[in-house]
Structure 1
Amino acid sequence: MATIDQGRWTANLDDHDGVVLFLIGMRINKPWRIDQWLWMFAAMGGMLAYLAKHPECGMIKARNWFGRTTMQVGYWRGVEELMRFASDDEGPHRPAWRRFYQRLAKSGSVGIWHETYVVKPGNAETVYVNMPAFGLAEATEKVRVSRRTGSAKQRLGASAD
């Protein structure tokens, strides 16, 4: 079980040029068509196993939430690494994407989505109270909130004027 860190914490982005926040998921539109969506869970599991064995690909951390619409919150070192992984013919993503597009895109039984954000120091704000390492703080560095980072405005680098 994760250790709960008492008090207020934030993510230290100052020591990073930026982190890529990558949200990806799928929505099961036709739950009875398990034959058309179950393999996607397996493909995602294979991608995560691959990325865990290959940290040079650039994924820092990922967490998954499951329901009719699933979501993975992933953190990457940079856009270049994310794009390289997505387009690598020898890696696990490209073949899975092709299979989805050729076999399932027109059926409507499954929807997929993703969003990509580049998070730079001074352009993101985080706070974690009585939490284990989580989110950006887990992907970068978890630091105790200080006088310099005591408010959301300060954590945003005073850019919230």
Structure 2
Amino acid sequence: MREANPVVPGRMTAHLDGEFVVFLIGMRINKPWKVHKWFPVLRAMPRSLRALDCEDLGLLGYRLSMTATGPLLVQYWRSVDELVHFARNHLYPHLESWRMFNRKVGFTGDVGFWHETYVVREGDYEAVYGNMPRVGLAMAGEHVPIARKGDTASERLSS
């Protein structure tokens, strides 16, 4: 059986043309015994990701990980406008999930959330992957041999 995302030997880097957005969003389960509060919030993330997988809304790639206190989602978007359009549009599940969170959980302290948005100008990023499958920014853009962009971090940042 072939691995879906095989290890690529050697050193690779990522390449994206133009500006892009890195969006981090996480949830913290502050009171684990209140499953009825945090479980609906936890279930909302995969619903949003499925909607993003079905249409080209500007999401370039993502990685969902579970931490000791809850999920962490790293997303790469083409633009802030596309991210905001998805988040605020009633046709997509995020807006209803956000309204549900505010109605059922709000700021009781049972569940925490956070997000950070970074706009990255073209060439203002650096990435290196050694003997790794295609991950992170390389999943959102191109996965290219390191020599294409430079052998050192400073060379890759100035390319």
TM (norm. structure 1) is: 0.91
Say yes or no: does 1:64 pair with 2:64. Answer: yes
The whole-number CA distance in structure 2 between the counterparts of 1:80 and 1:128 is 30
Aligned to 1:119: 120
The whole-number CA distance in structure 1 between the counterparts of 2:48 and 2:23 is 14
The whole-number CA distance in structure 2 between the counterparts of 1:124 and 1:134 is 15
Classify the secondary structure of the residue corresponding to 2:107: coil
Change (3 A) 1:107 1:147: closer
1:76-105 Cα shifts (integer Å, max 9, x gaps): 111110000011022111111111112212
The whole-number CA distance in structure 2 between the counterparts of 1:73 and 1:103 is 25
1:35-93 Cα shifts (integer Å, max 9, x gaps): 001111211111111111112x1111111111313200111111110000011022111
Structure 1 gap segments, 5+ residues each? none
Aligned to 1:8: 11
Give the drift of 1:147: 6.7
Classify the secondary structure of the residue corresponding to 1:66: strand
The structure whose residues are more often strand, as a share, is 2
Change (3 A) 1:149 1:94: same
Alignment of 1:86-97 (within 5 A): 86-97=87-98
Alignment of 1:1-161 (within 5 A): 1=3, 2-13=5-16, 16-55=17-56, 57-67=57-67, 68-146=69-147, 148-157=149-158
Change (3 A) 1:85 1:148: closer
1:90-121 Cα shifts (integer Å, max 9, x gaps): 21111111111122122211000111111222
How many percent of aligned residue pairs carry the same amino acid? 42
Classify the secondary structure of the residue corresponding to 1:112: strand
RMSD: 1.4
Equivalent position amino acid for 1:155 in 2: R
Q: Stretches of 4+ moved more than 3 A in 1?
A: none
